[in-house]
Structure 1
Amino acid sequence: MREFLEALISEKKNDALPEEFDYFGKLIGSWEINYVESNNPCPIRGEWHFSWVLEGMAVQDVIILPDYEYGTSLRIYNPDTHAWDVAYGYTGKIIRLEARKQGEMIVLTYTGDEKRKWVFVKIEDNKFHWQNITVKDDGEWHINAEIYAERIK
């Protein structure tokens, strides 16, 4: 198992990945999270861990929401589109997204439905805010769920 982890995990970002497209570098590490759905104000406490992988050209994460959902995302920088191709998987489902910067936000748009998005609203050194949103016909955002995270490593 150690050989697999050594082959997967990278210590740092690859120098070939341009700094202006290093959207996810600040997330590397471990986070304590509170996941809140819009229809249930009671937060689910969990963890979210991020690491450089694949020679530092990709970021993989594991999200742990006990008794709710365990999942992983693989974010791979695409030099042809200058975006990140993203796959999120959990039991029985894989979702594909494309990530681009919009101002200070990182917006991940579902490839099959442009109205569904995941948004890193703000990423700071020791905390971040994430939203799962649906864009209404009038352009307004409906927040389906939010995550508030604080760094633990």
Structure 2
Amino acid sequence: MATEAKAVTRELIWRRVMDELGFEHARVRRGPEGTELSGLILVAEQGAPLRAEYSVLCDDAWRTRRVSVTQSWRGEPRTLTLEHDGDGHWRKDGRVAEELEGCTDVDLGLSPSTNALPINRLRLEEGTRAELRAAWVRFPALEVVPARQGYTRVGPARYRYESLESGFNALLDVDEDGLPVEYAGIWRRLAEGPAAPVSPSQAFMEALVSPGPSPELGDAAATFGWLVGGWAGTIQDHDPDGSVRQSHGEWWFHWVLEGRALQDVFIVPSRHAPAQSGPGANKRYGTTVRSFDRAGGKWRIVWVSPTGGAINRLDGGRDGDRLVLLGEHHGKPIRWSFSDIGPDRFTWRGEEQDSTGHWKLQARFDMRRIA
């Protein structure tokens, strides 16, 4: 009986020796389905710390298929997503990138690892040369521009890289996987070895979390996309007798399922809140998944609360300057809304309609952005 080939995973560290201002810690995972290059880059850029995490997925012929980059620089987080059909057609952040037409590989300007992509894809014979167009990602702007490049195999494990527009050229000494060992006095490998298996929790997060919304959502992504990040604030439960119980809570949002849905985690009391001496708001530790029904033109959400046992389904969307969702709970109409929306704040209200048609406030959350 044939057995499936196991993935081979390596870890490597490079130092930017040309100025001693940067390091990269990369992971290379090769399997029968293709290769993933991922890594963390830490450099000093214009006197400020720059942190960039990336993932490059390739098929079994080393053709770049999907790229994601998350960058933090001068207090500003930014993301970039590139998708490639393998035939020179690209999307950038979900939109067709005509300027990248004909590019075959991605070149991350801060990383030596992506030189391995054309080296492995081309598989040049010694003494031969090839030219290509690469999607060159420039940091810290995260601009992507086409770049004409040349690779010549000048020895068994040595290549000459050329930037055909600037005239820059450099020699690369590589290993058996085409990964640089020495990059012409610019980058130098410090360490390499087998990587520990990815933990189940990390593998789950990588499968679930997406860097941004799917292009399938189009303009609808903006309805809830502004929530991505972390929020904290005051949580109030309004009881039938008119009393109000209050606690502090936190709320985290991110794109999931290849950006087709937005999921949150809602926690009350906050993990960082001091213990309360009196009764506070109801304990909550649950999640909501939001997905867009293109046929109906509405967002549909499902809230699951293991602590309270509730499962609520609502749908809706933008209503003027509010977001309004309607549903039922125990046979009674309910309305959830986001209002007073600003760059760093919003108010959420949960209401139930009584037999007279009056909406009664059951809960109110006043949130401020923390991430």
* TM-score w.r.t. length of structure 1: 0.89
Is 1:79 the counterpart of 2:264 in the alignment? no
Percent of paired sites with the same residue: 31
* Whole-angstrom CA distance in 1 between matches of 2:347 and 2:332: 21
> Among residues 33, 45, 49, which one is paired with 2:233 in the alignment?
33
For the residue of structure 2 that corresponds to 1:27, the secondary structure is: coil
For the residue of structure 2 that corresponds to 1:18, the secondary structure is: helix
* Residues 115-134 of structure 1 mapped to structure 2, 5 A cutoff: 115-134=333-352
In structure 2, the CA distance between the partners of 1:36 and 1:114, relative to structure 1 (3 Å rule), is same
Query: In the alignment, residue 289 of structure 2 is paired with which amino acid?
Result: L
* Whole-angstrom CA distance in 2 between matches of 1:111 and 1:130: 17
Query: In the alignment, residue 94 of structure 1 is paired with which amino acid?
Result: I
Query: Cα distance, 1:21 vs. partner?
Result: 5.2
* Residues 66-105 of structure 1 mapped to structure 2, 5 A cutoff: 66=269, 68-91=283-306, 92-105=309-322
Runs of 4+ in 1 over 6 A off after TM superposition: none
Moved more, 38-47 or 62-71: 38-47
Moved more, 115-124 or 14-23: 14-23
* Whole-angstrom CA distance in 2 between matches of 1:111 and 1:42: 24
Query: Cα distance, 1:18 vs. partner?
Result: 2.2
* Whole-angstrom CA distance in 2 between matches of 1:124 and 1:141: 25
Q: Give 1 or 2 for the bigger CA radius of gyration.
A: 2
> Among residues 136, 141, 145, which one is paired with 2:359 in the alignment?
141
Deviations 1:71-118 (CA, angstroms, capped at 9, x unpaired): 100001111111111110012231111122211111111156572111
Moved more, 39-48 or 87-96: 39-48
Say whether the 8 Å CA contact 2:213–2:221 is kept in structure 1.
no
Deviations 1:6-45 (CA, angstroms, capped at 9, x unpaired): 1111111122212145311111000012111223434210
Query: In the alignment, residue 141 of structure 1 is paired with which amino acid?
Result: W
Query: Cα distance, 1:143 vs. partner?
Result: 1.2
1:49 — aligned with what? 252
> Among residues 265, 274, 278, which one is paired with 1:62 in the alignment?
265
Query: In the alignment, residue 51 of structure 1 is paired with which amino acid?
Result: H
Which runs of no fewer than 5 residues in structure 2 stay unpaired? 1-200, 270-281
* Whole-angstrom CA distance in 1 between matches of 2:366 and 2:326: 20
Say whether the 8 Å CA contact 1:21–1:82 is kept in structure 2.
no
* TM-score w.r.t. length of structure 2: 0.39
* Whole-angstrom CA distance in 2 between matches of 1:3 and 1:18: 28
2:98 — aligned with what? none
Determine which structure has the larger strand proportion and give its number: 1
Query: Cα distance, 1:138 vs. partner?
Result: 5.4
Say whether the 8 Å CA contact 1:10–1:56 is kept in structure 2.
yes
* Whole-angstrom CA distance in 1 between matches of 2:320 and 2:238: 25
Moved more, 25-34 or 59-68: 59-68
* Whole-angstrom CA distance in 2 between matches of 1:99 and 1:3: 33
* Whole-angstrom CA distance in 1 between matches of 2:342 and 2:257: 25
Which runs of no fewer than 5 residues in structure 1 stay unpaired? none
Say whether the 8 Å CA contact 1:105–1:119 is kept in structure 2.
yes
For the residue of structure 1 that corresponds to 2:207, the secondary structure is: helix
Number of positions where the alignment pairs a residue of Structure 1 with one of Structure 2: 153
Say whether the 8 Å CA contact 2:335–2:351 is kept in structure 1.
yes
Say whether the 8 Å CA contact 1:110–1:117 is kept in structure 2.
yes
* Whole-angstrom CA distance in 2 between matches of 1:148 and 1:114: 25
* Whole-angstrom CA distance in 2 between matches of 1:132 and 1:107: 10
